[in-house]
């Protein structure tokens, strides 16, 4: 049986439907991959706020730096500047220590949101 113009039109619309489905699933898969990549990238920074909140005023510098180190935050210049500054994607945290008191207790905790 010879093909007619109507048969060709049906085949073409079927191909268009399948192409649209492939493109749609490609977009969905791309979005899922993007969300996973963002979550993996930001996961190490999420607990930094919790660590900052665990540090209390009058806590000794040794206790505070041990707590920071155990959570993967390094403050190498604490004994020089008597400050520790660290950040996550949205905030900058600063912990200040007394330089003249024994044990160098925490005297101030501040954080500020980053301007993008």
Q: Mean pLDDT in each 10-residue stretch from start to end of the chain (116 residues)?
A: 53 70 92 89 74 92 91 82 87 91 90 82
Residues 31, 64 within the same domain: no
Residues 53, 81 within the same domain: yes
Residues 52, 29 within the same domain: no
Residue 47: per-residue pLDDT = 73
The count of structural domains within the chain is: 2
CB 96 within 8 A of CB 108: yes
Residue 30: per-residue pLDDT = 94
Residue 11: per-residue pLDDT = 53
Residue 78: per-residue pLDDT = 77
Residues 59, 99 within the same domain: yes
Reference 106, options 94, 114, 116, 89; nearest CA is: 94
Residues 100, 77 within the same domain: yes
Tokens of 34: 């993007």
pTM beyond 0.85: the answer is no
Tokens of 14: 């079927």
Residue 13: per-residue pLDDT = 59
Instruction: For residue 5, give its domain range.
Output: 1-45
Residue 45: per-residue pLDDT = 66
Distances (CA, A) of 47 to 51, 57, 97, 115: 6, 19, 22, 21
Residues 23, 36 within the same domain: yes
- Per DSSP, 99 falls in state S
CA distance 63 to 66: 5
Residues 59, 109 within the same domain: yes
What is the Cβ-side half-sphere exposure of residue 73, based on CA atoms within 13 angstroms? Answer: 26
Tokens of 84: 């520790």
Residues 106, 55 within the same domain: yes
Residue 12: per-residue pLDDT = 53
**Beta partners for 94?**
85, 110
Residues 67, 25 within the same domain: no
């Amino acid at each position: 049986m010879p093909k007619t113009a109507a048969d060709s039109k049906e085949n073409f619309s079927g191909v268009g439907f399948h192409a649209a489905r492939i493109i749609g699933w490609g977009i969905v898969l791309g979005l899922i991959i993007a969300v996973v990549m963002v979550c993996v990238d930001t996961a190490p920074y999420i607990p930094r706020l919790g660590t900052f909140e665990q540090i209390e005023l009058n806590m000794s510098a040794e206790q505070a730096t041990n707590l920071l180190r155990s959570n993967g935050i390094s403050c190498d210049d604490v004994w020089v500047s008597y400050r520790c500054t660290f950040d996550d994607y949205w905030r900058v945290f600063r912990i200040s220590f007394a330089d003249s008191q024994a044990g160098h207790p925490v005297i101030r905790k501040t954080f500020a949101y980053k301007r993008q």
